[in-house]
Structure 1
Amino acid sequence: MRAIVVRSFGGPEVLEAAEVPDPEPGPGQVRIRVTAAAVNPVDALTRSGALPLGDRPAVGLGWDAAGVVDAVGPGAAGFAAGDEVIGLRDRLDVPAGAYAELLVLDAASAAPAPPGLDAAAAATLPLNALTAAQALDLLDLPPGASLLVTGAAGAVGGYAVELAARRGLRVVAAAGAADEEVVRRFGAEWFVPRGAHLGDAVRALVPGGADGALDAAMLGARTLDAVRSGGAFVPVNAGPSVPPPLRGIRVAPVWIRADGARLAELADLAARGRLTPRVAAVLPLADAAEAHARLAKGGLRGRLVLAP
């Protein structure tokens, strides 16, 4: 099968289309013929060598995909050949990821595809919507509490605003000025434009600061400054931008994990129009390097998606 791999780390130019052996599903696994695979920032980090990996001669890219089950391993309950599915591959050090014609996943990492959504839109759900949902779980804010979401117009941030509003949270959305309409449509009550002093702007809207913050834009201490003393702070990246737990704020980075049951719930919300997948563009699998270059430029609204 064809797959996009990296044999040496660097810029988008190191992405290589290669012929690799077809993967076979083991016990409890399914094999998916990939129809669409989302391009995420973690893929760029892997490509650049920023994440610790093993010593494989080639490493595959791509975490989440939509496609059709074409083989089922022993004991993989709940799926059969021909089922349309979405799924999340949450391992880094693999010979082939979702940027491929075939992808093997644990059955527990997959869910039925949302009916009525095309494959490209469905492929944006697993990593981004699960990250948003699991971050909100970590925050554990009660209905009526205030939540700051940075990067609120991005893929994770947009899902976070919608899911938070469904939980009855009062959302302060921080995003570019041109994105105010879209984040308010997602359910944000207040808006802070990019470039404003975040701590001062949020405190002008929510005296004392927000009860919690989901830092999808990875602004670190600037976001923490907008949280009240004793509040909660969840960044989507556990790197050096994570600030210390000042003023008694509970700091808990979200570590994404595959969860097919939760993904099925999110897919149902998307199918019913309660979550809004956004696709910036669909490119052929062979244009993975172009997709990474466009991702690096920023300014995308929605995910780029590769179609094998």
Structure 2
Amino acid sequence: MNVSLRQLRAFLAVAGHRHFRRAAEALHLTQPAVSRLIADLEAELDVRLFDRSTREVIPTEAGRYLEQALARVLDELDGVLSHARTQADPFRGRVRLAAVPTLSAGLVPAGIARCAAEAPSIEIILRDQNQAQVLDAVRGGEVDFGLTVEPATHEEFDAETILRDPFLLVCRDDHRFANGPSLAWPALSGEPLILLDHASGSRRLIDAALARQGVDASVAIEVGHPHTAFRMVEAGLGITITPALSLDALRPGLVALDLTPEEHRNVTLLRRRARSLSPPAQTVWNAFRDIALTLA
């Protein structure tokens, strides 16, 4: 059935005004054009929609049914089209973002705050998840993009590294390591380490750094978040290796030292490969890139 939206809108205008000329004026069309649209619609539906006289135009029974049904359907269609139109506005819309916990605490608040100031009509929905969950959410299209540690493979993603985040040592201020501003990695051999578990994107990189630097690692406790690791360190249960962005959770009584030579993780924005971002999602992506530049 070849029925156009133009024909349907013309039908509703005639049904509402009960007059071809007034309907044409409302649609900013000529009366013959409106008459042709109605005639074509009646021919396509194979039913008479109006009884016409010299004084008035009255919908037939089929016309009355179509008028009631179309008014609801076209209202819904207008809503759908209006929503789609807002998605073309880079400063309006909804953006879904997933981020690993250290970035949710250390980078995401500044990015969301910038968007709230510069694009207040963008609604940002954040998922605070571990590395594997963030990758799954991006892969499955559940979020527009992810903010994460650089994954082991980029085969399924388009990625942009926005920040090098160095790994630091955190210990109590009464620990023997607390005297200097930095520490060589081999000094960690045999020390009880409190490390993030393997659900974290950083753990793979920390293990690789320990092996690369010849550290005989002794992992005493594995935790899910740097905040928990810091509490364990406070209790005197060991020392921890943590990304610099996690230091916002550091409390009095703990100190952070540079580890030499520097080992770092790449903070990365990820989206599905060959999938473009919506304009508002691109705005948020750019905001996080700019925030990372200021941190760098």
Q: TM-score, normalised by structure 1?
A: 0.30
The structure whose Rg is larger is: 2
Q: TM-score, normalised by structure 2?
A: 0.31
User: Would you tell me which structure has more helix in proportion to its own residues?
Assistant: 2
